[in-house]
Amino acid sequence: MYARPGTEPADTGAPDGSDGSDGSEGSGLEPVRRRGRMPAVLAGAAVLGLISGLCAGYLIQAGREPTRLPPLSQPRLEQASGGASASLPAARDREARTDGDLRRLLLKKPDGARAAGSFAEDGWMSLDQLAETYNNPAGGYGWLLETEFRRAAAVTWTEGGTRLVEVRLLQFRQEEVLGARDEAKDSYDWAGRDSDAESWAIPGTGDGKAYTYRTPRNRDGVNVYEARAHAWRGDVSVQIWMTDTKPIPKKTIVDLAKRQLERLT
């Protein structure tokens, strides 16, 4: 009889200790051998040796003196001498100042100048009011939302009888985009499109620019010359608009823009 692979062969009961084969040839199968007793004896001896070794090691370790653990506390660190550094004064903290009343950072009206009407109410311009100053108010509204517009302050005055000046400060949240920078760069593009535009760098502003225009424009039936300036600092974009019945010198618009940017520094 032949056992299936992986199983024990059945006991043939042959008295001579043979495997019970009838000696027939040609079956193609090899008889599966019984496992002898020697491997089992060796395995048992190995287990007993392992247990004896563990017990002996435990007895030796139990007879030794306990080893002291290192202390848990760390060496004391010496504190540096001197008090904490003083906080930055509000006058020098640009973020603290721009988070306050933005209108306080606007240029003051020159002596002798008169307040002029504008879109601003009590110095503030809402998103709707600011959008109305664009050639396409709907497009301006969407652009301001895209650049994360936060708020705007403005002041307007007349001086010398014919010159009208408006200064705007536009503040942006700048959580996902640099709105102040993007708004200023967009203004550079629009201001320089006219063929008669001359541009001038505003000192101390990096990329700030002032513009004057050689050809007068008709505004409400009156021919006026224009000048404008655009720059940005931190989260605030600066816009300055000037009109007059006579040409506006470069120095006038550049100096005005420079003084306004200094108030944001």
State how far Cα 177 lies from the chain centre. Answer: 9
**pTM (global) more than 0.75:** no
pLDDT, tens digit, for every residue of 111-163? Answer: 999 988 777 778 999 999 999 999 999 999 999 999 999 999 999 999 988 99
What is the distance between the alpha carbons of residues 155 and 166, in angstroms, rounded to a whole number?
A: 6
Digit-coded pLDDT (tens) for 12-60: 444 444 444 444 444 444 444 344 444 554 556 555 666 666 666 666 6
pLDDT of 82 above 70: no
State pLDDT tens for residues 214-258: 999 998 899 999 999 999 999 999 999 999 999 999 999 999 999
Cα–Cα nearest to 155, from 146, 140, 145, 165: 165
H-assigned helices in 83-169: 94-98, 127-131, 137-146
Give phi and psi for 161, each to the nearest 5. Answer: 85, -30
For the beta carbon of residue 193, count every other beta carbon within 10 angstroms. 8
What is the rounded CA–CA span in Å between residue 37 and residue 35? 7
